Amino acid sequence: MPESNEHILVNPVTQPVIAPFNGAPRLASLAGTRLGLIDDSKRNADVLLEELADLLRTRYEITTVKWHRKPSASRPAEPSAIKELAEECDSVIIAIGD
């Protein structure tokens, strides 16, 4: 046990654990595709996503847009919502507001 005037220094730093990630293959074109949007519930995320959806519909001929709004920015999207978006959409975008 150290004496009262001694201190033991502990380094709390660890090496980051980087999970492997292979993103989805790039779409050849956005024309005629179905887009999923995840709104994180932060202020202005919906505004940003709506502008983006309009731009993608007009410029890149996205056919449909499916929305999911998370209950809170700090909570992950429901697994059932992720599954539904994966099954019904060709691509998905999430926006962070503020």
16 domain residue, yes or no: no
Write the CB contacts of 40 (distance below 8 Å, at least 6 apart in sequence).
70, 73, 94, 95, 96, 97
Give the mean pLDDT of 32-59. Answer: 93
Structural domain boundaries, residue 47 = 34-95
Residue 1 in this model has a pLDDT that exceeds 60: no
14 domain residue, yes or no: no
91 domain residue, yes or no: yes
Element (H, E) at 39: strand 34-39
Q: Is the pTM of this model over 0.75?
A: no
Query: What's phi and psi for 61, nearest 5 deg?
Result: 60, 40
59 domain residue, yes or no: yes
CB 89 within 8 Å of CB 32: no
63 domain residue, yes or no: yes
Where does the pLDDT of residue 78 fall: very low under 50, low under 70, confident under 90, or very high at 90 and above?
Answer: very high
Label each residue of 64-88 as H, E or C.
EEEEEECCCCCCCCCHHHHHHHHHH
Query: In total, how many domains does the chain have?
Result: 1
Residue 66 in this model has a pLDDT that exceeds 90: yes
78 domain residue, yes or no: yes
